[in-house]
Amino acid sequence: MRFHSAIARLAGGAGAGMVGTVAMSLPMLAARRLGLTPTLPPEVIVARTTHLEAGSGRDTVTVAGHLGFGAVCGALLALVPSVRGSRPVSVATGVGAGLTIWAASYAGWIPALGLLPPPERDHPGRRRTMVASHVVFGAATALGIRGIERRR
């Protein structure tokens, strides 16, 4: 893969990852509004890792952090075609990536840092919400990457 095409693929994937993050945030916010989950992980993570008080920019940091994490994950997902060949990433691969991100985060680094309990001890509504949201992230990000690749 040429340098310029790699940069373009990474940038496109980052943009698609941000769109996927917005898409996954919709079921997350709906679940909180419906009372299915007490809190949302991005809010908890920022609250527990910064000294920001509620209302003092913490919401902005939460949104920026969530979008940034989604952008990095989308950029990495965009590299999948270069590893597998020239075919664009499939929606199934995107969903698999979303579930892998969920597992690595919610059964991995997040409980390891003591930020939230592991899935088997977490609130059932939050666990289901986050799994479903990561499926949405993966599908939306893959569709975004496919759309960008088609335009090239």
Sole residue written with tokens 């940091």: 61
N- to C-terminal Cα distance for the chain? 15
Tell me phi and psi for residue 123, to 5 degrees. Answer: -60, 125
Radius of gyration of the chain (CA): 16
For every residue of 9-45, DSSP letters joined together read HHHHHHHHHHHHHHHHHHHHHHHHHTTS-SS-HHHHH
Claim: this prediction has a pTM higher than 0.85: yes
- pLDDT at res. 83: 58
Measured CA to CA, the distance from residue 75 to residue 73 in angstroms comes to 5
Half-sphere exposure of 70 (CA within 13 A, CB side): 29
Sole residue written with tokens 């373009």: 8
Contacts of 39 (CB under 8 A, 6+ apart): 32, 126
- pLDDT at res. 82: 58
Domain residue extents for the chain: 3-151
- pLDDT at res. 117: 96
Listed as ranges, residues in the chain with pLDDT below 50 are none
- pLDDT at res. 3: 58
- pLDDT at res. 2: 65
